[in-house]
């Protein structure tokens, strides 16, 4: 496994994936890493949903596409290999992280868990890309129906973080980081 500094500095958003499923060991490792993230007041009420079936992914994509603004549909379609809308970039898996909507700090807790998951994925030589669309659709009736009926999500939970996940197809180049972060001492 890579050292921590390398993992943090080399992680990239991957949007090109091989048609190769994740292993059960990969999923277990990633869920465990995400579960070790801190949570407000130590609540630890997050839940992790790994969507791996093509039928499930296609159904979720149709819901997201139906509700997406035209500009978003165009932007995502331009970034896919085949030019068709696929909010998860044809990855073999999508991970949704949900928490109780009325919890202490559900957004922060889910985002902390997602960061652990993204770093753990890179450490395992997997690729991942953070996805905004499931969070944006968390109150959409069709999305809620999908989450509750197909994933078994508790009606009190909402999705606050999501990512596409799989084996990268090639190398994602290192971008020059913009010097926008100020360090004040």
> Does the pLDDT value for residue 174 go beyond 80?
no
pLDDT computed for residue 36 by the predictor: 96
Residue 40 domain boundaries: 4-166
pLDDT computed for residue 28 by the predictor: 97
Q: Is 99 a domain residue?
A: yes
Q: Is 155 a domain residue?
A: yes
pLDDT digits (tens, 9 = 90+) for 108-117: 999 999 999 9
Q: Is 34 a domain residue?
A: yes
State the number of CA atoms in the 13 A half-sphere of 50 facing the CB.
20
Q: What percent of the chain has pLDDT over 90?
A: 78
pLDDT digits (tens, 9 = 90+) for 30-48: 999 999 999 988 888 999 9
Domain count, the chain: 1
Q: What is the CATH number of the domain that holds 57?
A: 3.40.109.10
Distance between CA atoms of residues 131 and 96, nearest Å: 9
Alpha helix (H) residue ranges in the chain: 4-10, 24-35, 54-67, 70-79, 106-123, 133-136, 141-150
> Does the pLDDT value for residue 178 go beyond 70?
no
Q: Is 158 a domain residue?
A: yes
pLDDT computed for residue 43 by the predictor: 83
Q: Which one, of 87, 112, 88, 118, lies nearest residue 99 by Cα?
A: 112
User: What values do phi and psi take at 52, rounded to 5?
Assistant: -120, -10
Q: Is 15 a domain residue?
A: yes
Q: Is 46 a domain residue?
A: yes
Q: Is 183 a domain residue?
A: no
Give the Å distances, CA to CA, from 85 to 14, 55, 120, 124: 16, 16, 28, 28
152: left (phi over 0), alpha (psi -120 to 50) or beta: left
Give the Å distances, CA to CA, from 81 to 18, 54, 75, 156: 11, 17, 13, 36
Q: Is 88 a domain residue?
A: yes
Contact 46, 110 (CB under 8 A): yes
């Amino acid at each position: 496994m890579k050292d921590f500094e390398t993992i943090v500095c080399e992680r990239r958003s991957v949007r090109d994936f091989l048609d190769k499923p994740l292993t059960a060991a990969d999923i277990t490792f990633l869920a465990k890493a995400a579960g070790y993230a801190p949570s407000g007041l130590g609540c630890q009420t997050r839940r992790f949903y790994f969507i791996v079936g093509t039928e499930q992914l296609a159904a979720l994509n149709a819901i997201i596409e139906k509700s997406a603004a035209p500009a978003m549909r165009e932007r995502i379609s331009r970034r896919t290999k085949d030019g068709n809308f696929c909010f998860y970039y044809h990855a073999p898996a999508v991970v949704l992280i949900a928490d109780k909507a009325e919890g202490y700090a559900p957004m922060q807790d889910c985002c902390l868990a997602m960061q652990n998951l993204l770093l753990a994925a890179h450490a395992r030589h997997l690729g991942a890309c953070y996805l905004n669309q499931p969070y944006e659709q968390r109150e959409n009736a069709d999305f809620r129906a999908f989450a509750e009926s197909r994933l078994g999500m508790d009606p009190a939970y909402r999705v606050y973080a999501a990512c596409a996940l799989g084996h990268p197809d090639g190398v994602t180049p290192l971008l020059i980081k913009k010097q926008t972060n100020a360090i004040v001492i």
